[in-house]
Every structure is written in C-alpha cells, then in structure tokens.
C-alpha cells in the first residue's frame, strides 16, 4: 500500500479512516442498486409496504354498500370477493364484538362499549393495523362491525420470489456492517503484511547473531519505527562485527608476543 513506509500510528489512522470512507461509499452504491432493483420489481414481484393500506377505502365503501347483509354468514362470499385472500385479514362481528365469521381469529373487542369507542378508527395491535367499519341499520343503530387487518411491510406476490429476493434485501439493509467487517479484514491483512516482513528479518537476524554469524544485512528500508529498528539492528551488528574483529586482532598480537590469548 502507498502508506506502508509511514509511521505505524499514521498507518493505523489511515486504515481506520479508509475503512469508514470505503464502507460509506460502498453502502451508498449498494442502497442505490437496491432502490433501482425495488423499483424494477415493484408491482411485478413485490407490493410496496402501503399497497394493501391503499385498498382499505375502496373495500370500506363496498362493505357499507352491502349493509346488514354482511352480518349474515351465508353472505360470506360477498366479502370474500372484495377482500384479497393474502395481505388483508377480516373479521365480521356483532354489536357485542363477538366474531361471526372471517379470516382473523384474534379477539379485538370485548363488549359493545369498546366497539363504539373504536368504530371508524385505525389502531395498531401486535404489528398489525386494524380498521373498524361499523354496520349500521336504517335507524342509525350499530348492528355490528367489520375489522380489516393489514401490515405495512413489503409483500412478495410469489413465494419463490420471496425466497430469492428477501435474503437479498436483508443483505442490502445490513450491508454497512458487512462492508465494515470486510474492509477491516482486508486492511488488517495488509497492515499485518507490512509488519511481518521486517519482524521476520529481525527474528532471522537475531538467530544468526545467536549462532555468531554476523555476515548478513537486514534489507529493509522504511521511514517508520520498523525501518529505524532495522537500521539500529544493522548498526548493532556492524559494531559487534568490529568488536569481534578487534578481539581477534588483540588475541593474535598477544600470541605473537609470546602470550596465549584468552578464549
């Protein structure tokens, strides 16, 4: 890398900043691609989060048009025709909140008073949104109600598409963390590589010194702490070499004077 000769502190800072910048840029690109992908498959393979919510006013209008007939279970086919089988659950209940029929089995209303409080309102229960539509007779009395339940999440039209695209969208959502982990690994490997070479050279040089072999040079140059360490190690080796040479000369001279040099 271009900063391998820089001080270790600088390398660490550059690596950290590079990881953040590259992760942000990669995330932006990924989110943009995901956005284009969603636009391409929208209404073809997946409905947007508010797709069924937009259908509620039309369904409500038709339910009000059927009037009291909706409360008769024998007219179930009428409401089944106007409510999609997937995406929206419904429940037809009497004026006391007891279920008559429908695809939603959750107990929503306990008594008549609760029904009067929430008619013509939309409320959220356990992640689902409920629209309560009152069924009123000619005298203006509430005879029952119809609840429509839906969620505000993207809905895949085909189960196979859900199997293929849902993991992809999950990966896109969590891509920032994936990129941070990926770039951290890559920069760590490069950072380790920059350190490993001079350290291996120093370890090998230490082994040779231990074996009293001073005929080597540490071939590593860098304007950082490791480069300075290698230079210092070379200088130490040269000094040891000079000292060893002088010792040999002194011993040889003493031998010539009739003295046996000490080992």
Backbone angles phi, psi at 149, to 5 degrees: -115, 135
Residue 189's CB is within 10 A of a number of other CB atoms, namely 10
Residue 263: predicted pLDDT: 44
pTM score of the predicted model: 0.53
Residue 100: predicted pLDDT: 93
**213 Cβ neighbours under 8 A, 6+ residues apart:** none
**C-alpha–C-alpha distance, residues 197 and 207, integer Å:** 16
Q: List, in order of start, the domains of the chain with CATH numbers.
A: 1-47+156-245 (no CATH), 53-153 (3.30.450.20)
Residue 43: predicted pLDDT: 72
Contact in structure between 87 and 104 (CB atoms under 8 Å): no
Write out the chain's pLDDT in tens, 263 residues: 456 667 777 878 888 899 999 999 999 999 999 888 888 877 777 778 788 889 999 999 999 888 899 899 988 988 898 998 888 999 999 988 899 999 998 888 888 888 888 887 787 777 788 889 999 888 888 899 999 998 888 777 677 777 778 888 889 999 999 999 999 999 888 888 878 888 888 888 888 888 888 888 888 887 888 888 888 888 888 888 777 767 656 665 544 443 434 44
Backbone angles phi, psi at 111, to 5 degrees: -160, 180
């Amino acid at each position: 890398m271009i900063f391998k000769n820089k001080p270790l502190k600088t390398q660490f800072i550059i690596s950290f900043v590079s990881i953040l910048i590259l992760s942000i840029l990669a995330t932006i690109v990924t989110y943009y691609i995901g956005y284009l992908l969603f636009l391409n498959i929208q209404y073809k393979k997946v409905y947007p989060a508010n797709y069924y919510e937009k259908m509620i006013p039309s369904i409500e209008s038709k339910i009000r048009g059927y009037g009291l007939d909706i409360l008769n279970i024998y007219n179930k086919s009428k409401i089944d025709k106007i409510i999609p089988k997937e995406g929206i659950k419904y429940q037809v209940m009497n004026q006391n909140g007891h279920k008559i029929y429908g695809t939603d089995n959750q107990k929503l209303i306990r008594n008549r008073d609760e029904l009067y409080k929430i008619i013509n309102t939309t409320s959220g229960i356990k992640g689902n949104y409920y629209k309560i539509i009152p069924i009123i007779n000619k005298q203006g009395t509430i005879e029952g109600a119809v609840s429509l339940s839906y969620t505000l999440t993207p809905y895949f039209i085909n189960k196979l598409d859900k199997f293929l695209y849902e993991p992809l969208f999950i990966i896109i959502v969590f891509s920032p963390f994936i990129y941070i982990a990926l770039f951290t690994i890559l920069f760590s490997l490069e950072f380790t590589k920059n350190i490993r070479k001079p350290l291996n050279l120093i370890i090998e040089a230490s082994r040779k010194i231990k074996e009293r072999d001073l005929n080597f040079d540490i071939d590593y140059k860098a304007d950082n702490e490791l480069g300075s360490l290698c230079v210092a190690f070379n200088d130490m080796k040269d000094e040891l070499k000079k000292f060893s040479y002088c010792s040999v000369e002194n011993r040889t001279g003493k031998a010539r004077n009739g003295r046996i040099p000490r080992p």
